[in-house]
A = this chain, B = another copy of it.
Amino acid sequence: MLLKNCRFIVTQNEKREILENKDILIENGKIEEIGKNLSKKDEVVDCNNKVVIPGLINCHTHAGMNVLRGISDDKNLQEWLNEEIWPREKKLNRELVYYGTLFTIGEMLLTGTTSFNDMYFYTENIARAAKKSGIRCFLGSVLFDFFDPSKTDEEIKKGEKEIKKILELKNKRIMPAITPHSIETCSDNLLIKSRELAKKYNLPIHIHLSETEKEVRGCIKRRKRRPLILLDKLGLLKTKFIGAHGIHLDKKEIEILNKNKSFIVYNPCSNAKLASGICPAKELKYLCIGTDSVASNNNLNLFEEMKFGVLLQRLKYKDVSAMSAQRIFDSATINGAMALGVEEEVGRVEVGKKPDLVLINKDNIFLNPDYSIISNLVYSFNGAVSDVIIDGKFVVKNRKILNFELKGVIEKISSFKELF
C-alpha cells in the first residue's frame, strides 16, 4: 500500500518531526519507506488532504462495559461500583460481552485508537470481537480473591488458563496481560502469584492503583504501608508494571515509580467524573493514558482525554507549563507502546514499525489554521477520524467500519437494555 502525498505526517520519532507532503510505503506488514515520489503499482491512496498520525493506544479499558453507558452518573466510586455496576455486571453473559466489546471497539476505531489494554471478564469473547474487528489489544481476565485464601489458587489457575487460550489463538494482535483487580480485592499471595505468572510468560501486569483515598487508608490500616510501597515490596515493579489511575501517590511513591520505570495510566475524565481526584501526571516520568470504561467517562475518545489530561494538570499545579500538548500526545502513542512492551512495533510512524496509522481530514474545521498540528489534535479536534489502518490493513475507511456492521451491533446492544 502506498499513502501518497500525505499533507502532514506526525511521526512521533525521536525528533518529533512533522513531515509535509511525503509518501508512506507499506509492504510486508511494515512501514518500508517514507519519502518523496515513492511508487507502487496498486493500492495507492491519495493522502493530499490527510494528516497521518500513529494509532492511539488506550492503556486502561473495560471493554464489555459500553453497554452500561449512562446508566448511573451521579455516585462516588465505591457506591457506584457496589450499588450500580457490580449488580448489573452479574447479569452479563458471553453474548453480551462479545457484542458489548464490538461496540466498544467500534467507538475506539472511529476515534483513532488502534490498541487497547483491557481488564474484564469472559476474555475469550473479547478476543473473538477483537479478532473480528482487526484491532490490536492486550487482554486480561480480572483476578480477585477478596482475601479468601481458598480462592487464590483458583484465580491464578483461571488467569493462566485465559493466557493459554489467548496464546493459542496465535494472533499477534491479541496478547494476554495479567490483571489482578486491585490491592483492595487481592491478597498479598494473589499479588505475588500474579507477579510469578507475569514473569513466566513475560507479560505486563495491569492493576488498579491508588484510585481513592479510601483505598490508601485501607491499605495502611490492613497492610501497614501505602499501596505502591506494598506492590514494590511484593516485587510487582520488577515486571512490566501498569498501574491504572495513580491519583493518591506521595513523593516517595512517585520516586519509586520513576526509578523502576513503572507506568501509571492517567484517566482524567473518569477520575474527575467520579470525583476521585487528579493524578500527579506532571511528576511521573512513565505516563500513558486511558479512558477507563464508558460507564464512568462516558466515552472512549482519547482526543478528548488528551485535552482534559493537559487541562487538569494546569489546574492542579496552577501552571500552564505543567503539561504540554506534545507530552500528552507522547503518552497516547510512544509511551503507551512502551508500557505494553511493544515500542519496537507501534506508537510511531517510522520505517520498520508496524503500520498502525490513523488518517484525519486536513480540511476538518478543528485542524485549521495549522500553526501547530499537535496543538490542534490535542486541544481542538473532536476525534472524528476518517480512516484507520491496523497492521497495514484498512479497518475504517471514510468513517465506515469495514470488518463488522456497526448498525447491527448498536441494535443488538439496545436490545439488551431491559436486562439492566
Contact = CB atoms under 8 A, between A and B. Distances in A.
B69 A376 contact: yes
A369 B69 contact: yes
A315 B382 contact: no
A371 B72 CA distance: 9
A138 to B, nearest CB: 23
Interface in A373-418: 375-376, 379-384, 406-407, 410, 413-414, 416-417
A339 to B, nearest CB: 24
A321 interface: yes
A314 interface: yes
A413 B368 contact: yes
A312 interface: yes
A278 interface: yes
Nearest to A303: B382
B380 A382 contact: no
Given A314-B272, A382-B301, A107 B73 contact: no
Contacts of A278: 315
B273 A372 contact: no
Contacts of A310: 273
A416 B324 CA distance: 26
A419 B417 CA distance: 55
A370 interface: yes
A413 B363 CA distance: 12
Interface in A263-307: 269, 272-275, 277-278, 294, 297-299, 301, 304, 307
A325 interface: yes
Given A365-B410, A379-B70, A417 B371 contact: yes
A317 B275 CA distance: 8
A308 interface: yes
A365 B298 contact: no
Given A70-B375, A376-B69, A319 B275 contact: yes
A358 to B, nearest CB: 15
A420 to B, nearest CB: 8
Contact of A67 (B322, B369, B417): B369
B320 A371 contact: no
A41 interface: no
A299 B369 contact: no
Nearest to A111: B382
A375 to B, nearest CB: 4
A76 interface: yes
A110 interface: yes
B413 A369 contact: yes
A120 B240 CA distance: 53
A369 B417 contact: yes
Contact of A365 (B106, B297, B318, B380): B106
B379 A312 contact: no
A214 interface: no
A146 interface: no
Interface in A313-352: 314-315, 317-322, 324-325
Contacts of A67: 369
Interface of A: 67, 69-71, 73-76, 103, 106-107, 110-111, 269, 272-275, 277-278, 294, 297-299, 301, 304, 307-308, 310-312, 314-315, 317-322, 324-325, 363, 365-366, 368-372, 375-376, 379-384, 406-407, 410, 413-414, 416-417, 420
30 contacts: A69-B371, A69-B380, A70-B369, A70-B371, A70-B372, A71-B372, A73-B325, A73-B372, A75-B320, A103-B368, A111-B382, A272-B315, A273-B310, A273-B311, A273-B320, A274-B320, A275-B320, A277-B318, A278-B315, A294-B380, A297-B380, A298-B380, A301-B382, A304-B307, A315-B315, A368-B413, A369-B413, A369-B416, A369-B417, A382-B384
